[in-house]
Chains A and B, each alone.
Chain A
């Protein structure tokens, strides 16, 4: 199993550009999550999904969108990138809710200039 994979690893965007961060898992997990981690800070939940076709906002959803058309994939869309979105983005998945281990991807380091 590859676990949770994320692409790209690094990306530099100009202000106002858009992009999609890709996330895929091959563990047949129901739950998937997107977090951002700023330097010296904890992980903040952006969006999460409890299954295909179902998504919900987390703590910091503004400026982002998600979709979950399949169990495996959970892309994160940034529209009109802003410097405040400079961060490291982690995708994670788990079989069930909080009682279950979350498996994290390697992260995408995004810089908005």
Chain B
């Protein structure tokens, strides 16, 4: 079955540095991969989507890469700020399964 792995350990980054989060998946390559942000006590909020034929996607300080050979997506936040502290979830979608599968998320903490 399809699995997604995100680093379960929290990531602590100094403000201003680039935070890099990893999402690895097994088995079939997804058609789309999405990244969400989740704050404590709230529902996830969509950030970025990258398609299987795209290598990189950017939105303001956010950048996502997608390597179908390595079966990996990297999520970067440049010039990180304490307000970026949250849990970040990756989710993959396979069109043949018509469902999205979420990873367990990585908690990011940006210290001033």
**Which residues of B lie under 8 Å from residue A104 when comparing CB positions?**
43-45
Q: Tell whether A48 is near chain B: CB-to-CB under 8 Å.
A: yes
Q: Tell whether A2 is near chain B: CB-to-CB under 8 Å.
A: no
Q: Tell whether A61 is near chain B: CB-to-CB under 8 Å.
A: no
Count the B residues whose beta carbon is within 8 Å of the partner chain — how many? 27
Asked if A106 contacts B43 (CB within 8 A), the reply is yes
Asked if B43 contacts A97 (CB within 8 A), the reply is no
Residues 90-103 of B, flagged 1 when their CB comes within 8 A of A and 0 if not, give: 01011100111111
Interface size class of A (residues with CB under 8 A): 20 to 34
Q: Choose among B4, B42, B93, B99 the residue that contacts A42 (Cβ–Cβ < 8 A).
A: B4
Residues A40 and B93 in contact in the complex (CB < 8 Å), given A98-B31, A104-B44, A106-B43 = no
Q: Tell whether B89 is near chain A: CB-to-CB under 8 Å.
A: yes
**Which residues of A lie under 8 Å from residue B99 when comparing CB positions?**
45, 48, 58, 98
Q: Tell whether B69 is near chain A: CB-to-CB under 8 Å.
A: no
**Shortest CB distance B68–A (Å):** 16
**Which residues of B lie under 8 Å from residue A97 when comparing CB positions?**
93, 95, 98
Q: Choose among A35, A92, A101 the residue that contacts B49 (Cβ–Cβ < 8 A).
A: A101
Minimum-distance CB pairs A-B, first 9:
A98-B93, A104-B43, A42-B104, A43-B102, A101-B46, A42-B102, A98-B100, A104-B44, A90-B43
A binding-site residues for B, Cβ under 8 Å: 4, 35, 40-45, 48, 58, 90, 92, 97-99, 101-107
